[in-house]
């Protein structure tokens, strides 16, 4: 009986079959990703970086995702309902981060962390602990250990709001908003 042996590669929770090791992957260009996230314009700009870094790190991607903004409870950054292409991002929380930090770089890092987390759920990673670990791994690999994106992945995106009394804020509810043209079409015309 031929039973494949399993062995651990650095982390016991990530078991691989005892087969020939994969070819070494080319490491992501950390300086390029740092520059891209620091200068990204809006949700679409950050979203492109999310997809690119996940694909570079995990080799996974998914097309046709939709991003909605809604005013959610402030302890919730975003959510992805399994079986859908939708990610709903907490507009109120993003607005608070913009107001408190007054920094595009910090807002982009915050949005990146939240969207990467939800995108990994959309790719089929259900466990919160696994997703948090993957967000950290991807961030460290693509942005380096000292970038704010990696710091937020290691701590929590809410670290930017330390000292802000979120529980006392009353945020008015606005209608849910779809971010149009989130993903670039890969064709110029329809046949």
User: What pLDDT, in 10s, does the model give residues 122-179?
Assistant: 999 999 999 999 999 999 999 999 999 999 999 999 899 988 888 877 788 999 999 9
- Pairing assessment for the beta strands 86-90 and 66-70 based on DSSP bridges: parallel
Give CA separation, 71 vs 6, 65, 162, 171, in Å. 46, 20, 20, 8
**What average pLDDT does the segment 27-45 reach?**
94
Residue 92 counted as domain residue: yes
Closest by Cα among 108, 112, 159 to 135: 112
- Which pLDDT score, from 0 to 100, does residue 114 have? 98
Q: Which of 3-7, 28-32, 144-148, 165-169 is predicted most confidently?
A: 144-148
For the cut 90, the answer to whether the pLDDT of residue 35 exceeds it is yes
Report the predicted TM-score, pTM, of the whole model to 2 decimal places. Answer: 0.82
Residue 143 counted as domain residue: yes
Residue 116 counted as domain residue: yes
Residue 170 counted as domain residue: yes
For the cut 60, the answer to whether the pLDDT of residue 1 exceeds it is no
Q: How many domains does the chain have?
A: 1
Residue 120 counted as domain residue: yes
Find the domain containing 136 and state its range.
27-178
Residue 129 CA to residue 108 CA, distance in Å, equals: 23
Residue 12 counted as domain residue: no
For the cut 90, the answer to whether the pLDDT of residue 43 exceeds it is yes
Closest by Cα among 152, 115, 153, 150 to 132: 153
For the cut 50, the answer to whether the pLDDT of residue 110 exceeds it is yes
Confidence band (pLDDT; 50, 70, 90) for 185? low
């Amino acid at each position: 009986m031929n039973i494949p042996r399993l062995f651990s590669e650095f982390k016991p929770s990530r078991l691989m079959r005892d087969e020939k090791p994969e070819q070494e992957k080319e490491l992501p260009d950390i300086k390029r990703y740092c520059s891209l996230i620091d200068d990204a314009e809006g949700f679409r700009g950050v979203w492109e970086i999310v997809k690119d870094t996940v694909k570079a790190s995990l080799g996974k991607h998914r097309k046709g995702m939709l991003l909605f903004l809604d005013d959610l409870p402030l302890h919730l950054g975003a959510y992805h309902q399994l079986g859908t292409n939708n990610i709903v991002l907490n507009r109120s929380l993003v607005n608070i981060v913009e107001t408190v930090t007054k920094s595009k770089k910090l807002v982009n890092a915050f949005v990146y962390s939240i969207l990467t987390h939800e995108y990994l759920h959309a790719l089929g990673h259900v466990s919160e602990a696994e997703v948090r670990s993957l967000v950290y791994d991807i961030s460290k690999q693509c942005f380096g250990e000292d970038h704010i994106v990696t710091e937020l992945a290691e701590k929590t995106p809410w670290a930017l709001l330390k000292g802000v009394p979120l529980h006392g804020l009353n945020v008015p509810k606005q209608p849910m908003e779809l971010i149009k043209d989130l993903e670039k079409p890969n064709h110029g015309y329809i046949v």
